[in-house]
C-alpha cells in the first residue's frame, strides 16, 4: 500500500521518480506527489493517478538531483490534493513521504497543537513530520537524530523518506512493518517500496529491517537501528529483469500474468520436481522434516487470494499426508486468542511477503513456539526473513492488483509440500506419489492448452457482462476455486459475486436464483461429479443460467448447461490449477467489457502493509 520512491545522485531526479511512481502505482493510486530539493524545497501533489500529477507539474522547473515521490492508497483522510504526499513541516524546511499508519497520531497531534503547530491535512503522516520538526527544534539536534528520536515515540507501521532543505545532499529512510529497499549505484542511491523502480539502474540492493533507518549523505550509506547502533548493510543482487515489469505487448498486466502461468508454475517446480527421477526435493522442509512428520497440526494463514490457496492446501495436506489442518484468516487469527502449541507448524502464505496481518499472525504464533514456514514470492521480504524456513514461488513480479499467477504458484508449492510429506510419512503409496508427480509436471502444458481457447471465454463474457450478481459453486478441491473465481470477479468488475460449496446452495443461496442469475459450476469429473449434476439440475429448474467448467469430452453437463468450457483431465487434487484459469479469464473479459481498469481496481492496492 502506497508507493515510495526516492533518488539522490547525478541524474535529473524527476524523470527517475515519475517513472518509479508509475511502476509502483499498483500499490496505490488515489493521489501522487513529488518533492524536489535543489536549494529550494519544491512540492507538487495532486489527487488522482501519476498521469494527473504529470499534468499538474506541466512545465514547472523542478531541476534537482535529489527528490522523493509518493503514490497513495488512502488511510487517514480522503483522497484529495491536501492529503496527498509529500507533507511538509510547519517551517517548510522538511518533507516526508510515508507508507503505513501512525496509530498514536491523534495524541501526538494534540500535543503539537498546544505548541502552536497548525496542520493542513487530515493525515497521520503530516503529524509525523511536524513531530520530527519539533524534536529537532527542542533538542537542537541533526535531522537524522530528530528522525530517530521521533520514531521511538510513534506506534504503528511505517516506511518513510525525509528530506531537509538545510542539506540538499542527504536523504533519510526508515521502516517498521512496511517494506523499503535501497538501491546502490555508482555515485547514486535509490529508495523504493520494492525493487521495480530500481532494477533499470542497478541490481545491487539492501533491504532495511524493522526499526532500522538509513542515512544517505555525501555519497555514502549508513544504516543504524533506532537504538543508534550502526549496522553493516547486507548487499545482494536482484534476481529481476526489466522485461519482467513491462507489459510485453499485452494490453494489461493482468492478462500478461494470466498467460505467464505455464512458465510461473514451471518455475515454482524448477529445482524441486525432477519428473524423470520421479522425485521431489523440498529443501525448506528438509531442515525441519521431523517437525513436519510429527506435527500435531498445520495452521495455514493468509489473506484474500492467499487464503484461498491455503484452503486448497488444507484439502491437499489432509488427503495426502493425513495431518489435521486449519486455515485461518491472518486478519482474525491474532484477535481471538488462538490455541497455538509448540508441536504446530504455521504455514504463512503471501505473494508480497509483507502483508501486515499475516506478519502479525506470524509473530503471535512464533511467540508460542510454533515453527513458521513461509510461502511467498518476494526475495528478501519480511515473511521470508522472519520464517524459520520456507519456499519461494519464483513467479516473478506480479503487477496486476488481482492476483493470478501467484495463486497458481502458491497452490503448486503447497501441492509439492503435501506430496513430499505424504511420501515421508508413508500416507501415500509410491504409485500414487509418482502419478501425482507426473500430473503436476503436466500442468504447464495443460494450462497452455486452456489459454489457447481464451476466445471461448470472451464469447461467454459477452453474454453476462451486464449481470449484477454471480454465484460460483464447487465441491471438494473445487470449492476454494469457486471462492477465488468469485473474488476475482468482485475485485476487477465490481459485480457482486459469492462462492459456495455446491451442496450448500439449497441451504439459502438457491433463493436468489432466477433467469437473471448466472451460476458458475466447477463441474469436472471427480468423485462428486454426480452430486454436482444434481445441483446443476436444481439451478436449471429455477431458470438460472449455468456456466460450467467441465472435463474434456464431457457431454452430459454440456447438454444441460448454457455454456461450458473444457479443461484437460487431471487428478482431483490438481484440478484447481487448471479450473481457476478460465475463471481468471472470465473476470478479466467481463471487466474489460464493463470498461473497468483491471490492473488498478478501485479502492484496492497490491500489497496490504497496514492492518
Can you list the pairs that 179-182 forms with residues at least 24 positions away whose Cβ atoms lie under 8 Å? Answer: 179/207, 179/352, 179/354, 179/381, 179/382, 179/607, 179/609, 180/4, 180/207, 180/208, 181/205, 181/206, 181/207, 181/208, 181/380, 182/206, 182/207, 182/208, 182/214, 182/216, 182/221, 182/233
Element spanning 425, H or E: helix 405-425
Residues in the chain: 611
Which grid coordinates belong to 599?
490492473
**What span, in angstroms and rounded, lies between the C-alpha atoms of 129 and 172?**
12
Which grid coordinates belong to 515?
433467469
Spatial strand order of the sheet with 167-176 comes to 87-88, 94-102, 156-164, 167-176, 212-217, 220-225, 230-231
Output the CA–CA distances (angstroms, integers) from residue 185 to 8, 58, 202, 208, 369, in the order listed.
10, 29, 6, 17, 41
Output the CA–CA distances (angstroms, integers) from residue 85 to 79, 489, 503, 537, 583, in the order listed.
10, 31, 49, 55, 37
Q: Which residues contact 350 (CB under 8 A, 6 or more apart)?
A: 302, 303, 306, 358, 374, 375, 376, 377, 381, 383
Which grid coordinates belong to 326?
486449519
- The active-site residue out of 2, 303, 376, 596 is 2
Element spanning 440, H or E: helix 430-451
Which grid coordinates belong to 357?
496481518
Cβ count within 10 A of residue 496: 13
Q: Which ranges constitute the DSSP H helices of 71-224?
A: 105-114, 124-139, 143-151
Output the CA–CA distances (angstroms, integers) from residue 322 to 10, 56, 315, in the order listed.
59, 60, 10
Q: Check the CA dihedral 345-350-352-355 and report its sign.
A: negative
Q: Would you give the end-to-end CA distance of the chain in angstroms?
A: 11
Indicate if 376 belongs to the active site. no
Indicate if 141 belongs to the active site. no
Residue among 353, 352, 349 at smallest CA distance from 329 = 349
Half-sphere exposure of 457 (CA within 13 A, CB side): 23
DSSP reduced 3-state for 136: helix
Percent composition of the chain: helix, strand, coil (DSSP 3-state, to 5) = 40, 25, 35
- The active-site residue out of 46, 405, 488, 606 is 606
**What span, in angstroms and rounded, lies between the C-alpha atoms of 483 and 472?**
7
Cβ count within 10 A of residue 336: 8
> Catalytic positions, please?
2, 606
Amino acid at each position: 500500500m502506497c508507493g515510495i520512491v526516492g533518488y539522490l545522485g547525478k541524474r535529473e531526479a524527476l524523470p527517475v521518480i515519475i517513472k518509479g511512481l508509475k511502476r509502483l502505482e499498483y500499490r496505490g493510486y488515489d493521489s501522487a506527489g513529488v518533492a524536489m530539493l535543489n536549494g529550494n524545497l519544491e512540492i507538487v501533489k495532486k489527487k488522482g493517478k501519476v498521469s494527473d500529477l504529470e499534468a499538474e507539474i506541466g512545465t514547472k522547473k523542478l531541476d534537482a538531483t535529489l527528490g522523493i515521490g509518493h503514490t497513495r492508497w488512502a488511510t487517514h483522510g480522503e483522497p484529495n490534493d491536501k492529503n496527498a504526499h509529500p507533507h511538509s513541516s510547519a517551517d517548510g524546511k522538511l518533507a516526508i513521504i510515508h507508507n503505513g499508519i501512525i496509530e498514536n497520531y491523534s495524541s501526538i497531534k494534540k500535543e503539537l497543537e498546544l505548541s502552536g503547530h497548525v496542520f493542513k491535512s487530515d493525515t497521520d503522516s503530516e503529524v509525523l513530520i511536524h513531530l520530527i520538526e519539533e524534536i529537532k527544534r527542542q533538542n537542537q539536534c541533526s535531522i537524522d537524530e530528530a528522525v530517530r528520536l521521533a520514531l521511538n515515540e510513534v506506534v504503528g507501521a511505517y516506511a518513510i523518506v525525509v528530506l531537509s532543505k538545510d542539506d540538499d545532499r542527504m536523504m533519510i529512510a526508515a521502516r517498521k512493518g512496511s517494506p523499503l529497499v535501497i538501491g546502490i549505484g555508482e555515485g547514486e542511491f535509490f529508495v523504493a517500496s520494492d525493487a521495480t523502480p530500481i532494477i533499470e539502474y542497478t541490481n545491487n540492493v539492501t533491504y532495511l529491517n524493522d526499526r532500522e533507518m538509513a542515512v544517505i549523505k555525501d555519497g555514502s550509506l549508513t544504516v543504524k537501528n533506532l537504538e543508534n547502533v550502526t549496522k553493516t548493510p547486507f548487499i545482494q543482487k536482484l534476481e529481476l529483469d526489466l522485461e519482467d515489469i513491462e507489459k510485453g505487448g499485452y494490453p494489461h498486466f493482468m492478462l500478461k500474468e494470466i498467460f505467464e502461468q505455464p512458465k510461473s508454475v514451471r518455475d515454482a517446480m524448477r529445482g524441486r520436481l525432477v519428473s524423470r527421477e520421479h522425485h521431489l526435493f523440498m529443501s525448506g522442509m528438509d531442515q525441519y522434516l521431523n517437525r513436519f512428520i510429527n506435527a500435531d497440526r498445520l495452521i495455514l494463514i493468509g489473506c484474500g487470494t492467499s487464503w484461498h490457496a491455503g484452503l486448497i492446501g488444507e484439502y491437499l495436506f489432509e488427503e495426502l499426508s493425513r495431518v489435521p489442518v486449519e486455515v485461518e484468516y491472518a486478519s482474525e487469527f491474532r484477535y481471538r486468542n488462538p490455541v497455538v502449541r509448540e508441536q504446530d507448524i504455521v504455514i504463512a502464505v503471501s505473494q508480497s511477503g509483507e502483508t501486515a496481518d499475516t506478519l502479525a499472525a506470524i509473530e503471535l504464533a512464533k511467540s508460542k513456539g510454533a515453527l513458521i514456514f513461509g510461502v511467498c514470492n518476494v526475495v528478501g521480504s519480511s515473511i521470508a526473513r522472519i520464517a524459520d524456513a520456507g519456499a519461494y514461488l519464483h513467479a516473478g513480479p506480479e503487477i496486476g492488483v488481482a492476483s493470478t499467477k501467484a495463486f497458481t504458484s502458491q497452490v503448486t508449492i503447497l501441492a509439492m509440500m503435501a506430496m513430499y510429506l505424504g511420501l515421508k510419512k508413508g500416507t501415500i503409496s509410491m504409485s500414487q506419489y509418482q502419478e501425482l508427480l507426473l500430473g503436476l509436471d503436466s500442468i504447464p502444458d495443460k494450462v497452455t492448452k486452456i489459454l489457447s481457447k481464451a476466445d471461448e471465454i470472451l464469447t461467454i463474457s459477452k453474454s453476462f457482462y451486464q449481470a449484477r450478481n454471480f454465484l460460483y459453486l464447487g465441491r471438494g478441491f473445487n470449492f476454494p476455486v469457486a471462492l477465488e473465481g468469485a473474488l476475482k470477479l468482485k475485485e476487477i468488475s465490481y459485480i457482486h459475486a459469492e462462492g459456495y460449496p455446491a451442496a450448500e446452495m439449497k441451504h439459502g443461496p438457491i433463493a436468489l436464483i432466477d433467469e437473471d442469475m448466472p451460476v458458475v459450476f466447477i463441474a469436472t469429473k471427480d468423485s462428486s461429479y454426480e452430486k454436482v449434476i444434481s445441483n446443476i439440475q436444481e439451478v436449471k429448474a429455477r431458470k438460472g443460467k449455468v456456466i460450467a467448467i467441465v472435463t474434456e469430452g464431457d457431454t452430459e453437463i454440456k447438454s444441460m448447461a448454457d455454456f461450458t468450457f473444457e479443461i484437460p483431465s487431471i487428478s482431483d487434487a490438481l484440478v484447481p490449477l487448471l479450473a481457476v484459469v478460465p475463471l481468471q479469464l472470465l473476470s478479466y473479459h467481463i471487466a474489460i467489457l464493463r470498461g473497468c481498469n483491471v490492473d488498478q481496481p478501485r479502492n484496492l492496492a497490491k500489497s496490504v502493509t497496514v492492518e
